[in-house]
Amino acid sequence: MITMKKVLLGLALTLSVSAHASQSVGVFFGSPMSGIQYKTNDLRFSLGLDDFGVAVDKTFNLGSLVNDPDLNSMYTFVGAQYVDNKHDKLGVRSGVGFQVPVSQFELYGEVGPTLYFVEDVDLELEGALGVRYRF
């Protein structure tokens, strides 16, 4: 079982290894969890605080994927997620999103399916809105 100490240790190690990378930190509100998020380059680490959960995602800029700069504000992602809301759920997720830079901040929103496979098999459509500070 994943403990809070292991999650925090993993985040601390990630922060120290990627100290020179493009980074941002912020808050997000969504389903199935809301909490804080750390992003470095194209990797994201999310920690749910309302319902405990952790997620790790790899993001891909759509403008770069299809060689169209008009789509640079959009991205797609794939990752894994563990959520503890009444039942332990572990799943794989993917989706699409957008991000809008505003000064040192970025506003973002995303939506996509998550396929859970612990306890029972379940496919859920989930989404989030958030803001991150870039440093």
Cα gap 77→7, rounded to integer Å? 21
pLDDT at 35: 97
What domains lie within the chain, and their CATH numbers?
Answer: 4-134 (2.40.160.170)
Per-residue pLDDT of the chain in tens (135 residues, 90 and over written 9): 455 544 444 544 444 443 445 899 999 999 999 999 999 999 999 999 988 999 999 999 999 999 999 999 999 999 999 998 676 789 999 999 999 999 999 999 999 999 998 878 999 999 999 999 999
Cα–Cα separations (whole angstroms), residue 67 to 63, 71, 73, 101: 5, 9, 13, 20
Q: In 1-135, which ranges are continuous DSSP H helix?
A: 4-17, 62-66
pLDDT at 81: 96
pLDDT at 15: 42
Record the pTM.
0.80
